[in-house]
Amino acid sequence: MEALAVRLSHLDSEAGGAIRVVMFYDTLMRRRVDLPALARASAGLAECVAGIRLHGTGRTIRMSPDGREASAPPLPASTTEPITLDEEEIGTVWLERPGPPNPLDEVLLDRLAIAAAGVVERYGPARTTMADPALIELVISSENDDAARARALRLLGFAAGMPVRVVAVRSRLPLDQVSGLVCPARLVKAAPVADVGVILATTMDPARFPAGVHAGIGAAESPERSWREARTALRFATPRRPVVHYADLGVLALLAEVPQDAARDNADVIAIARIAGNPEDVDTLDVYCATGSLRRAADLLHLHHSSVARRLDHLGRTLGIDLTDPVGLTRARLALIAWRLLDD
């Protein structure tokens, strides 16, 4: 390996040096080295600390030119390059060179990133987020047997017997970006299926869903059931409550089972449809139903409580429901939810 490694500081020309760098990494890839060996060789070639970080696992490797793990605090990266696999950024490589970058650092990092992607793809399931939609469908479909589902999970990288939770997502952000945020250091796989995004993970942080994303989180450990629950929970997501756990719905989940024709014919749902053209009225009713308190609703709506009281009085007459009565408040809340579930 040293025979091919011509020190960057001794290269006669950038063109010749670039060819030598390419040859160096071609040799490493033929030898099927792992990530630590790749970082070690890169640090020796560059004569400075070289680093590799994978987003999916959170794994970071820093090697010094002497071939040992870098123990000194990291310097600011002088040059960086993303690791890309299947058109997804899965990590980063960098050099920690004191002073300005060398002329061939960009070529070196480009080849290091390509080699790192090859190593990730070769050793075990690729730690990319995006997966083959066909494999995801095999996991979540209730029509497949357990053997087919287990085989698909293994191909996606999930160990046998590992509980997998399913999340249904609607988002304008790229699905791999959303998945990476909620599962920053765990195995996560995602793919679009039908009209929604599907995320498979063993654990996640629901608080990390970015603004504007609606998500339904299944409660069951079996993926096919968790998928049904996640789809149901997603139907209940609103701008005010964008992330919904199926387990938190309780008896409300039964509303998703009501035939839509029956819901449309219900007098309370028809009444909600009458005010649907006025977002201000719907928002006021939504907040009041959620809080059950005039003053709390006024705080959330940033209005004086007397203004909210007038709105609710008008809404009560329009709906034909006494919103000051606990039964009437329950009717209004259930009707509002049932109306939102129509054609969802």
Which residue, of 256, 271, 292, is where some domain finishes?
Answer: 256
Burial class (CB in 10 A: 0-12, 13-18, 19+), 259: exposed
How far apart are the C-alpha atoms of 338 and 344, rounded to whole Å? 10
pLDDT tens readout for residues 210-268: 999 999 999 877 899 999 999 999 999 999 999 999 999 999 999 999 999 999 999 99
Is position 1 within any domain?
A: no
pTM for the complete prediction? Answer: 0.66
Which residue, of 256, 271, 300, is where some domain finishes?
Answer: 256
Q: What is the pLDDT of residue 57?
A: 61
Sign of CA dihedral 15, 16, 20, 21: negative
Check whether residue 221 and residue 297 sit in a common domain.
Answer: no
Is position 143 within any domain?
A: yes
Q: What is the pLDDT of residue 199?
A: 96
Which tokens is 330 given? 């329950």
Q: What is the pLDDT of residue 15?
A: 63
Which tokens is 245 given? 């756990």
Query: To which H or E segment does residue 228 belong?
Result: helix 223-235
- Locate the DSSP E strands across 211-289: 214-217, 243-245
Closest CA to 23 of 41, 49, 47, 48: 41
Is position 297 within any domain?
A: yes
Check whether residue 153 and residue 236 sit in a common domain.
Answer: yes
Check whether residue 160 and residue 265 sit in a common domain.
Answer: no
Check whether residue 210 and residue 226 sit in a common domain.
Answer: yes
Check whether residue 92 and residue 154 sit in a common domain.
Answer: no
Check whether residue 103 and residue 23 sit in a common domain.
Answer: yes
Q: Looking at residue 16, which CATH number applies to its domain?
A: 3.30.450.40
Check whether residue 242 and residue 157 sit in a common domain.
Answer: yes
Residues with pLDDT less than 50, the chain: 1-9, 11-12, 124-126
Q: What is the pLDDT of residue 13?
A: 54
Is position 30 within any domain?
A: yes
At residue 237, what are phi and psi to the nearest 5 degrees?
A: -70, 140
Check whether residue 179 and residue 290 sit in a common domain.
Answer: no
At residue 157, what are phi and psi to the nearest 5 degrees?
A: 105, 0
Query: To which H or E segment does residue 190 belong?
Result: strand 188-193
Domain span holding position 189: 133-256
Is position 128 within any domain?
A: no
Closest CA to 155 of 131, 180, 122: 131
Check whether residue 298 and residue 187 sit in a common domain.
Answer: no
Check whether residue 156 and residue 179 sit in a common domain.
Answer: yes
How far apart are the C-alpha atoms of 236 and 216, rounded to whole Å? 8
Which residue, of 256, 273, 292, is where some domain finishes?
Answer: 256
Q: Would you tell me how many other CB atoms lie within 10 Å of the CB of residue 300?
A: 18
Check whether residue 29 and residue 106 sit in a common domain.
Answer: yes
Is position 127 within any domain?
A: no
Check whether residue 118 and residue 220 sit in a common domain.
Answer: no
Burial class (CB in 10 A: 0-12, 13-18, 19+), 29: middle
pLDDT tens readout for residues 31-71: 888 889 999 999 999 999 999 988 756 678 999 999 999 98
How many folded domains does the chain comprise? 3
